[in-house]
């Protein structure tokens, strides 16, 4: 199949927001594919960031821009003009190709096929060593020279992972079920076990339903983890779980999946990447568990020398600097906290109820490596347990239904996360960035400031693009432009006059801003037109909230 047909499909998906229409459209498209085309199409529909295949890995934004400019002959100033209009690299590439000043140069006059593009993108991801970037760019140049505007747009979107068609992995499961006449539950289970929807699709296309019916969990093949929904408080969790449930501490760490077979241990991240080299002391700890084979689910948290939890940012250093791990290990201590067992010595345990899985976990590893839990039917006891979690520096609780199975890859009410509600803050917008995609015309990503009473200056305490409607964004953009002090790239710095009410999950210690604090998951609730900047909340108030977060109840 020509790559242009896949590009046309993505254009159709962009033009509708009706979920059922998208599912049906993709199902029909997949039904018309050759067996060998199914995996490439599924991978490229999801893009680099959402598929299991790291298509075109190593080609960054700057490299893509460089090749687009070379192929089209556009000046960089023209490119930035189009980008400011669209806020999207794929859309900008399409415009660049429509206005290209250099005629296409290609040794392959025939049209690109989906299999050919997929194979070259894989080849790009495998290139390493000296001169790797130049070789990657050369392959991309060859592809783009054979693309029309719509194909070039799709190719760039695949490389950046910014598909913006509205078609997600969950919808692809529905489309596959329709295309192959298999139940959504069977597709869901297979994807949970394989953690690769494109591979599941390819197997079904090749051998039918039987190709996935016998799939089983096995060590060193990471599976999709179970996820939690949200409950507003402990009472709602108790009600949804039949009046009694297990509450576990919710940690501010990195989700990990541990696989052990004999003396070999591998650690996989939330995105199912092998991160064993980043966590040597965790690998060593898991080698001590009382099982020959096991797959365990849990978190790793950063702690100080006294065992107190540190903010998530400290943990991130381990994953971002693989080559420096030996040096970083000395300064960042890690603590392993497990909460589930999916497989142990030949037995798949995902279908066992929570209580049985918890008992198996307690028999496998020392108690200090297991997330604290409490089974109760009492709201008062649950709130006291939540208070204790916050006091110890954790995020909150996760309620787990006592009868619940471990549902691979599902976000289920069997698990409910509960976090304390903090009072909203009135903060001042001190800067903003131009948005992307449909928000490209708006200043839509806001820097939030709190007044430092000692200096009289507004200190940045967070950043958010969430909360305002398109109409509010349009009005806010006009106001901010009128208040502009200076502009640096895509960032506009403004006079501190507009006050907004901000919701957030917590205030964290953070090295990101000079004040040493940052709001986590900030979102604007409303614009406080009646307030002046001088009436906004102060840095001193934020510090008090930061200190009192551990005493919510």
In angstroms, rounded to a whole number, what is the distance separating the alpha carbons of residues 184 and 382? 36
Output the six-digit token pair for 72. 């089209």
Radius of gyration of the CA atoms of the chain, in A: 26
| Catalytic one of 250, 285, 400, 419 | 250
In angstroms, rounded to a whole number, what is the distance separating the alpha carbons of residues 198 and 190? 11
- The tokens 């986590």 sit on which residue? 520
DSSP symbol at 512: S
With H, G, I as helix, E, B as strand and everything else as coil, classify residue 165.
coil
Residue 520 bridge partners (DSSP): 506
- The tokens 């999709």 sit on which residue? 224
**What's the Cα-to-Cα distance from 326 to each of 74, 277, 317, 318, 331, rounded to whole Å?**
46, 10, 12, 10, 10
Residue 348 bridge partners (DSSP): 343
Output the six-digit token pair for 358. 């918890």
How deeply is 326 buried, as exposed, middle or buried, from its count of CB atoms within 10 A (0-12, 13-18, 19+)? exposed
Nearest 10 degrees: Cα torsion 95, 59, 434, 507: 160
CA diameter of the chain: 74
In angstroms, rounded to a whole number, what is the distance separating the alpha carbons of residues 114 and 100? 24
In angstroms, rounded to a whole number, what is the distance separating the alpha carbons of residues 292 and 481? 64
In angstroms, rounded to a whole number, what is the distance separating the alpha carbons of residues 328 and 163? 36
Q: What are phi and psi of 453, to 5 degrees?
A: -65, -25
Asked if 380 is an active-site residue, the reply is no
In angstroms, rounded to a whole number, what is the distance separating the alpha carbons of residues 415 and 405? 10
Contact 22, 95 (CB under 8 A): no
In angstroms, rounded to a whole number, what is the distance separating the alpha carbons of residues 514 and 231? 34
Q: What are phi and psi of 357, to 5 degrees?
A: -65, -40
- The tokens 């998951």 sit on which residue? 521
| Residues with Cβ within 8 Å of residue 242, at least 6 apart in sequence | 401
User: How many other CB atoms sit within 10 Å of the CB of residue 489?
Assistant: 8
Closest CA to 233 of 509, 418, 460: 418
Residue by residue, DSSP assigns 381-445 as: HHHHHHHHHHHTT--EEEEE-TT----TT-EEEEEEEE-PPPPPEEEEEEEEEE--GGGTTSEEE
Closest CA to 535 of 431, 404, 426, 382: 426
Residues catalogued as catalytic? 250
């Amino acid at each position: 199949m020509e790559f242009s047909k896949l590009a046309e499909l993505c254009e159709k998906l962009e033009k509708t927001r009706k979920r059922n229409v998208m599912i049906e459209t993709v199902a029909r498209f997949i039904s018309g594919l050759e067996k060998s085309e199914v995996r490439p199409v599924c991978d490229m529909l999801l893009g680099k960031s959402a598929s299991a295949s790291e298509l075109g890995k190593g080609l960054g934004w700057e490299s893509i821009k460089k090749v687009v400019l070379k192929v089209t002959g556009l000046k960089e100033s023209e490119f930035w003009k189009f980008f400011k209009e669209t806020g999207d690299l794929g859309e900008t590439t399409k415009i660049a190709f429509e206005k290209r000043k250099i005629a296409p140069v290609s040794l392959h006059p025939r049209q690109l096929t989906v299999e050919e593009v997929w194979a070259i993108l894989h080849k790009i991801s495998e290139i390493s060593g000296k001169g790797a970037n130049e070789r990657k760019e050369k392959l991309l140049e060859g592809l783009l020279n054979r693309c029309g505007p719509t194909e070039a747009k799709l190719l760039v979107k695949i490389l950046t992972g910014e598909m913006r068609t509205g078609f997600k992995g969950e919808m692809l499961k529905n489309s596959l079920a329709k295309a192959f006449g298999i139940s959504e539950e069977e597709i869901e289970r297979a994807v949970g076990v394989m953690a690769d929807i494109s591979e599941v699709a390819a197997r079904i296309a090749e051998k039918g339903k039987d190709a996935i019916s016998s799939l089983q969990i096995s060590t060193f093949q990471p599976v999709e983890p179970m996820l939690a929904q949200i409950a507003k408080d402990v009472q709602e969790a108790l009600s949804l779980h039949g009046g009694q449930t297990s509450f576990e501490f919710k940690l501010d760490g990195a989700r990990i999946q541990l696989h052990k077979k004999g003396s070999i241990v591998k650690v996989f991240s939330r995105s199912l990447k092998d991160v064993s080299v980043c966590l040597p002391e965790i690998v060593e700890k898991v080698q001590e568990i009382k099982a020959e084979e096991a797959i365990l689910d849990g978190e790793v948290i950063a702690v100080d020398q006294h065992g107190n939890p540190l903010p998530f940012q400290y943990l991130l250093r381990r994953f971002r600097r693989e080559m420096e791990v030996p040096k970083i290990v000395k300064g960042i201590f890690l603590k392993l906290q497990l909460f589930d067992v999916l497989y142990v010595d030949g037995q798949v345990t995902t279908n066992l109820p929570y209580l049985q899985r918890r008992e198996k976990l307690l028999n496998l590893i020392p108690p200090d490596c297991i997330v604290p839990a409490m089974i109760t039917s009492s709201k008062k006891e649950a709130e006291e347990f939540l208070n204790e979690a916050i006091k110890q520096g954790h995020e909150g609780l996760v309620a787990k239904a006592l009868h619940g199975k471990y549902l691979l890859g599902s976000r289920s009410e069997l698990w409910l996360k509960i976090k304390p509600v903090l009072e909203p803050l009135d903060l001042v917008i001190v800067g903003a960035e131009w948005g992307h995609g449909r928000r490209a015309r708006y200043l839509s990503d806001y820097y939030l400031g709190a007044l430092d009473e000692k200096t009289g200056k507004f200190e940045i305490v967070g950043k958010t693009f969430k909360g305002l409607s398109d109409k509010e964004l349009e009005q806010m953009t006009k106001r901010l432009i009128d208040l502009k002090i200076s502009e640096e790239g895509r960032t506009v710095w403004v006079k501190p006059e507009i006050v907004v009410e901000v919701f957030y999950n917590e205030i964290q210690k953070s090295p990101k801003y000079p004040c040493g604090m940052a709001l986590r998951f900030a979102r604007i609730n409303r614009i406080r037109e009646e307030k002046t900047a001088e009436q906004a909340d102060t840095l001193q108030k934020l510090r008090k909230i930061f200190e009192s977060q551990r005493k919510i109840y």
